[in-house]
Amino acid sequence: MRLVVPLQGVAQGRGGLLLGSLIPCALFYFLQLYLKRRRSPSDPSPPSTSSSNQPGMTRHSSLSNLLSRGPLRISSLATAIAKPDDSPYYMGLDKASGDPYHRIANPDGVIQLGLSENRLCFDLIEKWTSENLRDWVMGREGGDLSISGIATYQPSDGTMKLKMAMAGFMSRVIGRDVSYEPSQMVLTAGVTPAIETLCFCLADHGNAFLVPTPYYPRDMKWRTGVELIPVHCRSKDNFVLSISALDQAFNQTRKRETKIRGILLSNPANPVGNLLSRKMLEALLKFAEEKNIHIVSDEIFAGSIYGEKEFVSIAEVVGSEDFDKNRVHIVYGLSKDLFLPGVRVGMIYSFNENVLAAARKLTRFSSVSAPTQRLLVSMLSDTRFIVEYIQTNKKRIRDMRDLFVAGLEELGIKCTDSRSSLYCWADMRNLIPTYGEKGELELWEKLLNVGKINLTPGSACHCIEPGWFRCCFTTLDKDDVRVVMERIRKVVGSRTSCG
Amino acid sequence: MAIEIEQPRVGLSKVAVSKTHGEDSPYFAGWKAYDENPYHETSNQSGVIQMGLAENQVSFDLLEKYLEEHSEASSWGKGAPGFRENALFQDYHGLKSFRQAMANFMEQIRGGRAKFDPDRIVLTAGATAANELLTFILADPGDALLIPTPYYPGFDRDLRWRTGVNIVPILCDSSNNFQITPEAMEAAYQSAESMNLKVRGILITNPSNPLGATIQRSVLELILDFAVNKNIHLVSDEIYSGSTFSSSEFISIAEILETRGYKDAERVHIVYSLSKDLGLPGFRVGTIYSYNDQVVTTARRMSSFTLISSQTQHLLACMLSNKEFSENYIKTNRERLSKRYDMIIKGLKKAGIECLKGNAGLFCWMNLSPLLEKPTRESELALWKVILNEVKLNISPGSSCHCSEPGWFRVCFANMSEQTLEIALERIHKFMEQRKRN
């Protein structure tokens, strides 16, 4: 009855027009609300009109979902990692890979000087693989070609054949009288998992490692929860580590009740390229013993040394003196010495049986692919090739470095004196607009966006002094060096070396 | 006289000293016995036959034939197609050609009933790493994942060791062929809540390891509804999907999503690997396929700790994008596994042993509960020891798979020749005869 009245009103054109439209709307709204409440959460809501039948379309939670229990959660770790990475190191790499320079096909592209890959002897690798990789996937097991040798489960920490081949290669490339024991090796799918695995073995969540700065922008914190505490080194000391700085950092961290589990070194250093002297290594071992902590020495550039200064591995020092070997662990990888694109082979080399036992079990999460292991055994056992490769490689790195550093000098930019590794550490302190991280990043951005060259700014390497840049020169051809210098000149103008 | 001063021993982490790697369990102890005395057709006929390793060796000849006829897959050097292009761009996205090939292969296995987008594929060094990585992404330390029992013993290590996440079992039993029920899921959820554990997801293996059976469509629908209801994730480990004996019997969660118009897809993640279907565990190839953009992005970044080498990607990309090869392989592999399954079931039946009706995988789920002295875990382990040491067969006891009913064993049949399988069946026959006599 009451419903009829407003309709009558509408029909009769009195005030009822408003009621006549309002009441049906209100009724309709309450009907919808009633139906929604009746629907249990598991009933499908009406299909959305967006193109929901495409695979992989992100589905937004239906309204009823959100109303009843909030959005779908992922872990705190994942939430942090999902955020866009705004560090200059990665932004620069992305920009360069998105618009890569090519002398003919893309001459205005970004020249990549931020990736420490050694492509100088790629032609030798190409030649070897095309001549020698016949039947490499299948082996001859008992006469017939068979895949079972590499198809089945292998030891997760690498085959003994590959470990032995690596031991031989390391001795050759480092060129010292050190022999590496295959049973002390644990192989992983790259150097990144090698270091992460060691962190999992040596430290608990919330513990820390002391790291001399500047250091390669690595972050082990994601899954291990391990912090890296910087120990600052300065240009007045040629960026050489001092034990007093180490001690100071150790004590300060202790005050914060964070447990230090070890020191993480890189030797040769990345990005400066320094070598640690025998005396310094001994001092570090003494320090580690005093504080009862570990030493992890990342020696992945040990094969890239071409100067007169001698490389001393911590393995040599600990072997020759009365130090506790259980606290020393070395990380090595093939990719800097032998540029095989996409080959992921890293190594943990330790004297501590317990660490080796734990690391071995952890390699199930990051083992080297069996076909890759076979390919490497084949290549590393070709002694004639390896010897020629090592010699040629060192010569080409030296020649390229000399060319590159000379080019920078003409622009008034000096580099630290280091005859090791694939990059130089350039002093651009007098070229940054303002003294500070902001000024440094302004120059970095200008070099990237205007000059179209990607360098790694010191701040990305946690360098305490602004204005230093890491320049990797081993991805260049000789002719590219001139182009690089031109582009730098365009951005910074030229200053004579006396200026 | 000099006093010996004990030097402080430098400590290791909790992860390093923990026993969560589980390598002291019977599952692995049996492997040790095999390693010490492995059966060999000619040189050690009285050795232990390994029936505890789920490896697929029945279709190697198909792989070998392909490689012999297609040298471009293994050629990798100057002039090789794509070498330079692939060489100069290496990152954690992986080769596009390989991801495309994986997507196609996964579609083929599902008879084209679901589509996969190559940009949602994240590559990892094996399904082990994929499962662990997903756990890191979906749950915080101290949270819980619900997993139906019996389950793959490796999960205890892979999902819990470094992640700090707990597993709460969804108890299934033989009264309904070990199928997952809503009551069991709810009970597990409540159990987790009572222990103050936040449930973040449910992880199913389909086809199931160790049951060797696919999950029915209706049950998959109930599981997805449960996940939606509780607002949690659903991980479907489908690494045995290509090892179903008939293509129509495997229903993937992807198909359920397809029929639902991909509603609620953002909580679903599929794990796949080539270790079981292609018999290539040594290659270390695993994938996470997620319908959730955030999960894809995060997983891709974290995959830098577990990458697949490029040569392997290139080789498999060639192989799997060869339609002739992949179709023939899937079909033939299924037929051979089915034949093996029939062989072992017949042989066990002859010996008076019943198995769960299976339709997939590299193993069968054998019921030896009538042989137990007492229906207890201890009796089961005692029987297992006898089978290992006297019958010289390494099979996996159900207790290591967290089976709530003692007496069940997982027996693998695809990692040996037919002759070896015959020998194993003879041994079982003899053993059962002896027991009858006593």
Q: What single DSSP character describes residue A106? A: B
- Asked whether the beta carbons of residue B312 and residue A190 sit closer than 8 angstroms, the reply is no
User: Domain A85-121+387-489: which CATH class?
Assistant: alpha beta
**Residue spans in chain B of domains classed CATH 3.90.1150.10:** 26-61+330-437
Does residue A271 have a cis bond before it (omega within 30 degrees)? yes
Between A464 and A116, residue with greater pLDDT:
A464
Q: Which CATH number fits domain B77-325: 3.40.50.1860, 3.30.70.980, 3.40.640.10, 2.40.30.160?
A: 3.40.640.10
The residues facing B366 across adjacent strands are: B355, B409
pLDDT band for position A70 (cuts 50, 70, 90): confident
Predicted confidence at residue A219, as pLDDT, reads 77
* d(C-alpha A176, C-alpha A166), whole Å: 15
Q: Summarize pLDDT for A296-313 with one digit per residue, the tens.
A: 999 999 888 888 788 999
Chain A touched by B16 (CB under 8 Å): yes
All residues of chain B having their beta carbon less than 8 Å from the beta carbon of residue A354 are 12, 16-17
Is B329 part of the annotated catalytic residue set?
no
Residue B298, both tokens: 């995060």
Please say if B276 is a catalytic residue.
Answer: yes
pLDDT at position A225 over 90 = yes
| For residue A209, pLDDT beyond 60 | yes
When CB atoms are compared, the residue of A54, A204, A352 closest to B13 is A204
**What pLDDT is stored for residue B1 in this prediction?**
46
Among B141, B295, B312, select the one facing A369 at the smallest CB separation.
B312
ipTM of the complex: 0.92
Delimit the domains of chain A by residue range. Answer: 85-121+387-489, 152-382
Inter-chain contact B306–A200, Cβ cutoff 8 Å? no
pLDDT at B333: 97
Residue with tokens 């390994």: B50
User: Cβ(B381)–Cβ(B404) under 8 Å?
Assistant: no
How confident is residue B4, by pLDDT bands cut at 50, 70 and 90?
Answer: very low
Residues of A in contact with B229 (CB under 8 A): 41-42
Is pLDDT at B78 greater than 70 in this prediction? no
Cα(B438)–Cα(B431) distance, integer angstroms: 11
Region B302-323 average pLDDT: 93
The pLDDT of residue B379 is above 50 = yes
Q: Which residues of B fall within a CB distance of 8 Å from A189?
A: 125, 284, 306-309
Instruction: Chain B: give the shortest CA distance to residue A92, in Å.
Output: 15
**Model confidence band, residue B77 (pLDDT cutoffs 50, 70, 90):** low
Rounded distance between C-alpha atoms, residue B163 and residue B137, angstroms: 10
> Which of A97-101, A395-399, A424-428 shows the lowest mean pLDDT across its residues?
A97-101
Provide the pLDDT confidence category of residue B159 given band limits of 50, 70 and 90: very high
pLDDT digits (tens, 9 = 90+) for A321-349: 788 999 999 999 998 888 887 888 999 99
pLDDT at residue A119 is higher than 80: yes
Is-contact B307 A369, C-beta < 8 A? no
Decide: A265 and A327 in contact? Cβ < 8 Å: no
Sign of the Cα torsion B183, B184, B190, B193 reads negative
Residues 6+ apart with CB under 8 A from A284: A241, A243, A246, A263, A265, A276, A295, A314
The CATH number given to B26-61+330-437 is: 3.90.1150.10
Write down the catalytic residue from A111, A263, A300, A397: A300
Higher pLDDT, B56 or B11: B56
Q: How far apart are CA A348 and CA A359, in angstroms?
A: 8
Question: Which of the following is catalytic: B27, B34, B66, B152?
Answer: B152
From CA A272, how far away is CA A469, in angstroms rounded? 9
3-state secondary structure of B131: helix
Contact B117 A97 (CB under 8 A): no
Residues of chain B in contact with residue A78, where contact means CB-CB under 8 angstroms, are 136-138, 294-295, 298
A231 or B21, which is more confident: A231
pLDDT band at A4 (very low <50, low <70, confident <90, very high): very low
Could you say which DSSP state residue B249 is in? G
Q: What is the mean pLDDT of chain B?
A: 92
Q: How far apart are CA A153 and CA B273, in angstroms?
A: 14
Q: Which of A131, A133, A145 sits opposite B68 (nearest CB)?
A: A145
Q: How many CB pairs under 8 A join A and B?
A: 272
The reply to whether B239 belongs to the active site is: yes
Contact yes or no for A122/B87 (Cβ under 8 A): yes
> Up-side HSE of residue B215: CA atoms within 13 Å toward CB?
29
* Contact (CB, 8 A) for A101 and A110: yes
8 Å CB contact of A55 and B229: no
- Please answer yes or no on whether B298 and A81 come within 8 Å at the CB atom: yes
Report the pLDDT value the prediction gives residue A396, as an integer from 0 to 100.
95
The rounded distance, in Å, linking the Cα atoms of A426 and A214 is: 13
The total of other beta-carbon atoms located within 10 Å of residue A493's CB is 10
Answer yes or no: do A151 and B283 touch at CB < 8 A: yes
A59, A129, A375 ranked by CB distance to B266: nearest: A59
| pLDDT at position A308 | 79
pTM: 0.89
- Among the listed ranges A80-94, A184-198, B170-184, B249-263, which one has the minimum average pLDDT value? A80-94
Edge-first strand listing for the sheet containing B286-290: B121-124, B286-290, B268-273, B233-237, B199-205, B144-148, B166-170
CA angle at A310 for the pair A287 and A264, rounded to the nearest 5°: 35
CB-CB contact of B276 with B362 (8 Å): yes
Query: Residue B266 is nearest to which of A72, A342, A369, comparing CB atoms?
Result: A72
Amino acid letter, A245: A
Q: Contact at 8 Å (CB) between B254 and B114?
A: yes
The two structure tokens encoding residue A397? 């790195």
* pLDDT value of residue A42: 37
Tell me the C-alpha distance between A304 and B362, whole Å: 48
Report how far residue A409's alpha carbon sits from residue A406's, in angstroms, rounded to the nearest whole number.
Answer: 5
What is the distance between the alpha carbons of residues B166 and B160, in angstroms, rounded to a whole number? 6
Q: Find the distance separating the first CA and the last CA of chain B, reported in whole Å.
A: 68
Question: Domain A152-382 class?
Answer: alpha beta
Question: Is residue B237 flagged as an active site residue?
Answer: yes
User: B281 preceded by cis ω (within 30°)?
Assistant: no
Contact A151 B228 (CB under 8 A): no
Q: How many CB atoms lie within 10 A of CB B269?
A: 28
